[in-house]
């Protein structure tokens, strides 16, 4: 069964990954391409995108050797660049519906590319490493293909791929949403963490506690957890992300393939070096982003067959992830009690007995901590204000702590009440701030960017950005009165109440 | 950091070629049956090109005439008459016993120094001193051409030189076949390869059915503008936003049209490989001066012009005499002092766009030859009619003040000369020229003088700068002025009247008193201007912006726009109050700082 989608609206978005070190000789240009979406696009067009990207990377290095091409804005398309690894570039091309209306913010799109790459590396290691393992490129292509297609599936609404646009201007990808908890609950959580860490015996262990959806490696784990592990992800996977839906993800796939059998994907893709048709098992591709693959086991731990089963047994292999900071491979164990999800990371090297050892650690943890877990869940549930817990009446805001990669926002439903004009204006302001920030970074200026922008837009909304000491606050006030002092007062009040005065002037 | 960055550009000289190859190989792959885009165009060009052969001739003529300028014209009447004219001017002044040191008497002396007498030498020396003083004080900073060597610098560089690559702001004009036409730095001929690369990028995107506008890399922006067969590119690592840079490219294109008219396009229709450089030969100074003005003259981004502050009566007197000549078949009569308008008058229904004025004034002020003798030169006003030449009679009354008479008739020189003589006589009699010099010395609005009370000071109709004696202004600049700008930390402001198409900008004073600080301030204004006037979502109504350099406040209404810069520590509430006072102040003096009523283009 193939993906029979005939919809071609996907041409509005293209995403490719290429390696500048490959395909240097004429006639071998195809070798550069490691991933292209939509895969059905004729090679000439794929090469055209990559040729332009490569040309501009080289061109911009003439003037800006320290930072090559980041974005091409043309009348109909934007190309957003991200150098994921040295000489390995990801480029996303998005079509603009209307040149003058800035739908997308390149930084928001770049963060999608960044997230794809970080998650990929977390599960599979770096692209370069995989390329070195198998220089033909078949291995990495297959992995990237299944991984990114699984990832992109989340962005499909109907037949359209919806990327972060101005509607999402009060969100920040790549940050963790922290749950604000009372003092008592915090103490409980702390003690739970201590119990968890000690119950793993002598093995060092990291843990992450998530409640509902709220909470460089932490971000990835958080992102993954929110995408696939939390109760919300588990249930929505069952209800709305039915398998049929995946049929829409790729276009022109007659020649392409069946995502369920990724190894058969375009065998003709790069000629004879690639796998033969029957080589189904030549590459075992683990697809951690596959939907509906996690479920709750009897012991409260989440299980999945994504990583396969132990040979000769029925036990599923415990997933492992690779941490960049410690450069270690870790077992990923997720335990769930109602709305509470616990993620335990145990170094692979610390457990010598394989799966058996892992289950022992898991059991040990539950034995020691189950009571605590119950208690913490109860406390958190009691203290949690629901979906609108972070709503501040009259404000639509995004608060980012860049140093801790933590963010907090107005509930999405509340942000959605803003007019398009306000959202576009905020999107534009964010773009301006991004530019200022990246410039300050390149200048290596010792003092961090300190910036205050306060705009009364055409529709009378106040659109405000404050950047100070690594913290950022963005807000839209639609019903404010017209004086600038009103707007700064509103910021001041918010700052004093919710940000410990970080944005207050005195 | 990518490890083999160096490898991809290490062959510095070949990197252009490399990019082209990259693009070309793909082009070839994609368009197998169309080997190159330019071949296509060539075919089209032949079809379209048969229409007009005169265009090129016309332009070539124009180039000759501009390089020889008015000498040709002068020869017709003979140099003797020049001398007579000048002689009379000087003697008249002497008779008047004008005490004004800046009067127009010395004006042409540089040009006619062959007749120098003892007293004339004194005058020349005095004039030079004045010039030097002017440069250091009132207008020196904004009048860029004094402080810069004219023409292009760093001609020896090309794209292989590190110094060239590190220049902060490049401008290029090239033809659609990739031939270089102008480059701000470096020798155009040596940049042929680089130019071809730019062309390859543009046409590559074009072949994909799109049009490239901006490429961003780190601090650098590459901005593209396509105008028919002419491509313009800016590569900049200044912080200026895309909108500003692309507006600057528009102006550069406009400046080219001023010199050549848009009919130059026909040359490309006839021959896509047409080499335009000879047509623009010797006009480097015009472009370099325009480019310098981007960060020195707010008119370049405000799309408005500014007037020299003058008493209402003085400006009226100037306007009246200009009106006289306008009624005698002159399309526009403009009296200017540097880049500021003293008065201007248009024939019925003819209107002059501020951008045209900017480009015309830049064209005149940057060409040394206009200063030395009266000239009659073809010019095109792109906003008025990009396809046709007008003829400009240009005459400097003194070092700063000049008259432009525009006509559609190519043989109106003698008539315009007579007009000028008439105008000059009246201007001298009514002391307009000496008032102009006085205004240059006094300057316009100083933020330090912003009245504290909301109402004009006692006494009927106060004049700008009236309370300050002439010596006062020089003294305050001689000693290091320790002030911190105006009240509430106000450092500078620009007020733009929407209906008048005019702006007034406060004088630059401490702490904005070096060219670098001025440039930084103007770039900050450009940024906030672009942010306020966003095409899709603007214009915004108010904006407050504080960073480590300034507090900027911008206020856009139906009638005016105010841009004000304050100390970064300024108090918000006080700053707002101060802005209101500035608006009131401007209104109180609008008779002196704006050209009111008479102008035909205010509606």
- A355 SS3 class: helix
Confidence of residue A207 (pLDDT cuts 50, 70, 90): low
B169-221, pLDDT tens digit by residue? 999 999 999 999 999 998 888 899 999 999 999 999 999 899 999 999 999 99
Q: Within an 8 Å CB–CB cutoff, is residue B543 touching chain A?
A: yes
Q: What is the pLDDT of residue B33?
A: 39
Check CB contact under 8 Å for A68 and B208: no
Closest partner CB to A74 (pick from B213, B542, B576): B213
Whether the per-residue pLDDT at A499 is higher than 90: the answer is no
A354-372, pLDDT tens digit by residue? 888 888 888 888 888 888 8
Nearest by Cα to B330 from B398, B449, B418, B402? B418
Check CB contact under 8 Å for A72 and B25: no
Q: Judging by beta carbons within 10 Å of its beta carbon (0-12, 13-18, 19+), is residue A155 exposed, middle or buried? A: middle
Residue-range domains of chain A with CATH: 9-173+256-273 (3.30.450.60), 176-241+291-383 (3.30.450), 396-498 (3.30.450)
A438-452, pLDDT tens digit by residue? 888 888 765 677 899
A42-68, pLDDT tens digit by residue? 999 999 999 999 999 999 999 999 899
The Cα of A306 is separated from the nearest Cα of chain B by a number of Å equal to 34
- B407 SS3 class: strand
Q: What is the pLDDT of residue B366?
A: 93
Whether the per-residue pLDDT at A201 is higher than 80: the answer is no
- A236 SS3 class: helix
- Give the containing element (helix H, strand E) for B405: strand B401-407
Nearest by Cα to B223 from B197, B252, B249, B201? B249
Place of tokens 């220049």: B167
Check CB contact under 8 Å for A48 and B8: no
Closest partner CB to A75 (pick from B29, B211, B242): B211
Q: What is the pLDDT of residue A109?
A: 94
| Higher-scoring residue by pLDDT: B274, A98 | B274
Inter-CA distances, A76 with A14, A94, A96, B251, Å: 13, 9, 5, 24
Mean pLDDT of B524-536: 93
Confidence of residue B313 (pLDDT cuts 50, 70, 90): very high
The Cα of B22 is separated from the nearest Cα of chain A by a number of Å equal to 6
- Residues facing B556 on adjacent strands: B561
Mean pLDDT of B27-53: 36
CATH 3.30.450.70 domain residues, chain B: 11-50+154-253+268-296
Nearest by Cα to B384 from B261, B266, B538, B245? B261
Q: What is the pLDDT of residue A261?
A: 32
- Of A47-51, A355-359, B155-159, B394-398, the one with minimum mean pLDDT is B155-159
Mean pLDDT of A227-243: 47
Whether the per-residue pLDDT at B541 is higher than 90: the answer is yes
Q: What is the pLDDT of residue B465?
A: 57
Q: How much of chain B, in percent, has pLDDT values that exceed 70?
A: 68
Closest partner CB to B210 (pick from A61, A76, A83): A76
Whether the per-residue pLDDT at B407 is higher than 80: the answer is yes
Q: Which of A258-272, A294-308, A372-386, B379-393 has the highest mean pLDDT?
A: B379-393
Q: Within an 8 Å CB–CB cutoff, is residue B168 touching chain A?
A: no
Using CA atoms, how far apart are residues B420 and B410, in angstroms rounded to an integer? Answer: 17
Those residues whose C-beta lies under 8 Å from the C-beta of residue A500, and which sit 6 or more positions away, are none
Using CA atoms, how far apart are residues B62 and B76, in angstroms rounded to an integer? Answer: 18
User: DSSP letter at A179?
Assistant: P
Q: Which residues of B touch A70 (CB under 8 A)?
A: 216-218
- Of A24-38, B67-81, B468-482, the one with minimum mean pLDDT is B67-81
Using CA atoms, how far apart are residues B179 and B192, in angstroms rounded to an integer? Answer: 6
Confidence of residue B346 (pLDDT cuts 50, 70, 90): confident
Check CB contact under 8 Å for A424 and B218: no
Check CB contact under 8 Å for B214 and A71: yes
The Cα of A44 is separated from the nearest Cα of chain B by a number of Å equal to 5
| Higher-scoring residue by pLDDT: A212, B164 | B164
Q: Within an 8 Å CB–CB cutoff, is residue B242 touching chain A?
A: yes
Q: What is the pLDDT of residue B257?
A: 96
Mean pLDDT of A467-490: 88
Check CB contact under 8 Å for A458 and B541: yes
Closest partner CB to B531 (pick from A100, A432, A451): A432
Closest partner CB to A58 (pick from B22, B214, B235): B22
Judge contact between B593 and B445, C-beta under 8 A.
yes
Nearest by Cα to B491 from B471, B508, B474? B508
Residue of B537, B541, B558, B579 to mutate for A, most A C-beta atoms under 10 A: B537
Q: What is the pLDDT of residue A412?
A: 87
A 10 A CB-CB count for A427 gives 23
Confidence of residue A383 (pLDDT cuts 50, 70, 90): confident
Q: What is the pLDDT of residue A469?
A: 84
Using DSSP bridges, classify how beta strands B542-546 and A471-477 pair: parallel, antiparallel or unpaired: unpaired
Structure tokens that stand for A261 in this block:
């059998």
Q: Judging by beta carbons within 10 Å of its beta carbon (0-12, 13-18, 19+), is residue B568 exposed, middle or buried? A: middle
Q: Helices (H), strands (E): how many in chain B?
A: 23, 16
Using DSSP bridges, classify how beta strands B212-217 and B220-227 pair: parallel, antiparallel or unpaired: antiparallel
Place of tokens 């963790």: A176
Confidence of residue A36 (pLDDT cuts 50, 70, 90): very high
What's domain B52-142+303-442's superfamily in CATH? Dynein light chain 2a, cytoplasmic (3.30.450.30)
Q: What is the pLDDT of residue B599?
A: 46
Q: Which residues of A touch B162 (CB under 8 A)?
A: none
Place of tokens 């000759």: B64
Q: How many residues does chain A have?
A: 506
| Higher-scoring residue by pLDDT: B83, B446 | B446
Inter-CA distances, B391 with B252, B261, B325, B331, Å: 21, 12, 15, 10
Q: What is the pLDDT of residue A172?
A: 85
Mean pLDDT of B299-317: 95
- B570 SS3 class: coil
Whether the per-residue pLDDT at A408 is higher than 80: the answer is yes
Q: What is the ipTM of this complex?
A: 0.85
| Higher-scoring residue by pLDDT: A200, A285 | A285
Closest partner CB to A55 (pick from B201, B536, B538): B201
Q: Helices (H), strands (E): how many in chain A?
A: 11, 19
Using CA atoms, how far apart are residues A267 and B362, in angstroms rounded to an integer? Answer: 64
Check CB contact under 8 Å for B218 and A20: no
Inter-chain Cβ pairs, chain A and chain B, closer than 8 A: 199
Check CB contact under 8 Å for A76 and B209: yes
Whether the per-residue pLDDT at B601 is higher than 50: the answer is no
Inter-CA distances, B91 with B104, B106, B121, B425, Å: 12, 11, 15, 13
Q: What is the pLDDT of residue B148?
A: 55
Rounded to the nearest angstrom, the gap between the alpha carbon of residue B542 and the centroid of all alpha carbons in its chain is 28
| Higher-scoring residue by pLDDT: B138, A302 | A302
User: DSSP letter at A309?
Assistant: B
Q: What is the pLDDT of residue A183?
A: 77
Q: Which residues of A touch B539 (CB under 8 A)?
A: 458
Architecture of the domain spanning B444-593: 2-Layer Sandwich (3.30)
Confidence of residue B437 (pLDDT cuts 50, 70, 90): very high
DSSP string, B30-84: H-TT---HHHHHHHHHHHHHTS-SHHHHHHHHHHHHHHHTTHHHHHHH-HHHHHH
A151-176, pLDDT tens digit by residue? 998 888 877 888 888 888 888 887 77
Check CB contact under 8 Å for A68 and B22: no
Whether the per-residue pLDDT at A9 is higher than 80: the answer is no
Using DSSP bridges, classify how beta strands A294-296 and A406-409 pair: parallel, antiparallel or unpaired: unpaired
Q: How many residues does chain B have?
A: 603
Q: Top-level CATH class of B11-50+154-253+268-296?
A: alpha beta
Judge contact between A400 and A407, C-beta under 8 A.
yes
A 10 A CB-CB count for A318 gives 23
| Higher-scoring residue by pLDDT: A241, B375 | B375
């Amino acid at each position: 069964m193939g993906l029979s989608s005939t919809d071609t609206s996907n041409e509005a978005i293209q995403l490719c990954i290429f390696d500048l070190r490959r395909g240097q000789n004429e006639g071998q240009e195809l070798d550069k391409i490691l991933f292209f979406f939509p895969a059905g696009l004729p090679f000439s067009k794929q090469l055209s995108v990559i040729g332009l990207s490569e040309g501009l990377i080289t061109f911009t290095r003439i003037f800006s050797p320290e930072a090559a091409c980041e974005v091409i804005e043309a009348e109909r398309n934007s190309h957003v660049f991200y150098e994921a690894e040295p000489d390995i570039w990801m480029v996303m091309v998005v079509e603009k519906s209307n040149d003058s209306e800035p739908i997308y913010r390149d930084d928001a799109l770049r963060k999608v590319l960044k997230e794809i790459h970080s998650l990929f590396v977390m599960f599979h290691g770096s692209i370069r490493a995989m390329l070195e393992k198998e220089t033909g490129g078949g291995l990495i292509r297959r992995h990237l293909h299944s991984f990114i297609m699984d990832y992109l599936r989340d962005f499909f609404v109907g037949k359209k791929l919806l990327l972060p646009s101005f509607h999402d201007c009060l969100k920040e990808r790549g940050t963790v949403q922290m749950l604000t908890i009372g003092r008592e609950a915090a103490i409980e959580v702390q003690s739970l963490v201590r119990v968890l860490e000690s119950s793993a015996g002598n093995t060092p262990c990291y843990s992450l506690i998530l409640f509902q959806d709220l909470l460089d490696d932490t971000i990835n784990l958080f992102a993954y957890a929110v995408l696939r592990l939390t109760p919300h992800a588990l249930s929505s996977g069952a209800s709305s992300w039915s398998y049929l839906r995946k049929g829409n993800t790729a276009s022109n796939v007659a020649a392409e393939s069946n995502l369920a059998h990724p190894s058969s994907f375009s065998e003709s893709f790069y000629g004879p070096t690639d796998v033969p048709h029957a080589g189904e098992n030549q590459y075992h591709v683990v697809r951690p982003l596959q939907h509906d693959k996690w479920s709750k086991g009897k012991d409260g731990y989440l299980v999945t067959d994504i990583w396969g089963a132990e040979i000769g047994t029925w036990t599923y292999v415990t997933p492992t992830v690779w941490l960049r900071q410690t450069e270690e491979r870790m077992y990923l164990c997720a335990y769930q009690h109602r709305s509470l999800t616990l993620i335990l990371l145990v170094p692979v090297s610390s457990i010598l007995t394989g799966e058996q050892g892992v289950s022992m650690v898991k059991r040990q943890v539950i034995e020691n901590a189950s009571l605590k877990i119950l208690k913490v869940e109860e406390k958190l549930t009691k203290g949690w204000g629901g979906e609108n817990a972070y709503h501040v009446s009259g404000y639509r805001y995004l608060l980012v702590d860049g140093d801790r990669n933590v963010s907090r926002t107005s509930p999405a439903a509340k942000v959605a009440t803003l007019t398009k004009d306000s959202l576009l204006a905020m999107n534009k302001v964010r773009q301006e701030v991004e530019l200022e920030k990246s410039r300050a970074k390149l200048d290596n200026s010792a003092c961090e960017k300190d910036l205050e922008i306060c705009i009364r837009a055409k529709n009378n909304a106040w659109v405000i950005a404050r950047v100070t000491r690594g913290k950022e606050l963005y807000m839209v006030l639609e019903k404010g009165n017209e004086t600038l002092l009103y707007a700064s007062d509103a910021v001041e009040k918010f700052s004093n109440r919710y940000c410990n005065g970080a944005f207050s002037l005195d | 950091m990518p490890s083999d960055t160096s490898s991809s550009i290490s062959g510095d000289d070949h990197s252009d070629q490399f990019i082209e190859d990259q693009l070309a190989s793909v082009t070839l792959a994609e368009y197998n049956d169309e080997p190159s885009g330019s071949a296509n165009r060539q075919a089209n060009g032949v079809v379209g090109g048969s229409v007009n052969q005169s265009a090129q001739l016309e332009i070539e003529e124009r180039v000759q005439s501009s390089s020889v300028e008015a000498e040709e014209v002068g020869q017709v009447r003979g140099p003797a008459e020049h001398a007579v004219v000048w002689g009379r001017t000087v003697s008249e002044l002497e008779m008047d016993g004008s005490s004004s040191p800046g009067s127009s008497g010395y004006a042409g002396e540089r040009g006619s120094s062959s007749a120098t007498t003892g007293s004339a030498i004194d005058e020349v020396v005095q004039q030079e001193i004045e010039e030097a003083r002017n440069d250091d004080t009132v207008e020196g900073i904004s009048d860029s051409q004094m402080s810069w060597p004219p023409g292009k610098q760093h001609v020896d560089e090309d794209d292989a030189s590190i110094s060239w690559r590190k220049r902060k702001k490049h401008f290029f004009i090239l033809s659609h076949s990739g031939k270089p036409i102008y480059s701000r730095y470096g020798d155009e001929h040596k940049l042929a390869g680089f130019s071809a690369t730019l062309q390859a990028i543009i046409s590559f995107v074009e072949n994909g059915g799109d049009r490239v506008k901006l490429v961003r890399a780190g601090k650098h922006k590459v901005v593209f503008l396509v105008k028919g067969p002419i491509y313009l590119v800016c590569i900049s690592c200044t912080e200026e936003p895309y909108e500003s840079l692309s507006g600057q490219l528009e102006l550069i294109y406009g400046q080219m049209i001023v010199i050549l008219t848009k009919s130059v396009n026909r040359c490309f229709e006839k021959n896509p490989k047409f080499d335009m450089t000879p047509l623009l030969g010797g006009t480097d100074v015009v472009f370099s001066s325009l480019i310098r003005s981007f960060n020195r003259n707010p008119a370049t981004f405000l799309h408005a012009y500014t007037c020299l502050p003058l008493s209402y009566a003085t400006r009226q007197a100037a306007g009246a005499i200009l009106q006289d000549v306008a009624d005698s078949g002159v399309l526009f009569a403009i009296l200017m002092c540097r880049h500021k308008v003293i008065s201007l008058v248009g024939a019925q229904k003819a209107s002059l766009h501020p951008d045209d004025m900017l480009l015309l004034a830049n064209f005149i002020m940057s060409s040394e030859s206009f200063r030395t003798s009266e000239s009659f030169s073809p010019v095109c006003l792109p906003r008025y009619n990009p396809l046709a030449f007008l003829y400009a009679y240009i005459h400097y009354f003194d070092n700063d003040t000049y008259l432009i008479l525009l006509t559609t008739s190519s043989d109106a020189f003698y008539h315009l000369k007579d007009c000028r003589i008439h105008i000059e006589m009246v201007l001298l009699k009514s002391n307009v020229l000496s008032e102009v010099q006085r205004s240059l010395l006094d300057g316009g609005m100083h933020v330090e003088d912003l009245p504290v009370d909301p109402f004009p000071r006692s006494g009927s109709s106060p004049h700008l700068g009236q309370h300050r004696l002439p010596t006062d202004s020089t003294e305050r600049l001689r000693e290091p002025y320790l002030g911190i700008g105006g009240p509430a930390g106000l450092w500078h402001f620009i007020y733009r009247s929407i209906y008048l198409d005019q702006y007034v900008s406060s004088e630059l004073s401490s702490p904005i008193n070096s060219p670098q600080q001025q440039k930084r301030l103007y770039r900050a204004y450009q940024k906030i201007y672009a942010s306020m006037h966003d095409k899709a979502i603007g214009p915004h109504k108010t904006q407050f912006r504080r960073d480590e350099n300034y507090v900027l406040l911008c206020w856009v209404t139906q009638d005016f726009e105010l841009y004000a810069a304050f100390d970064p520590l300024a108090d918000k509430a006080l700053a707002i109050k101060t802005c209101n006072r500035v608006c009131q102040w401007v209104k109180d003096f609008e008779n002196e700082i704006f050209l009111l009523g008479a102008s035909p283009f205010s509606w």
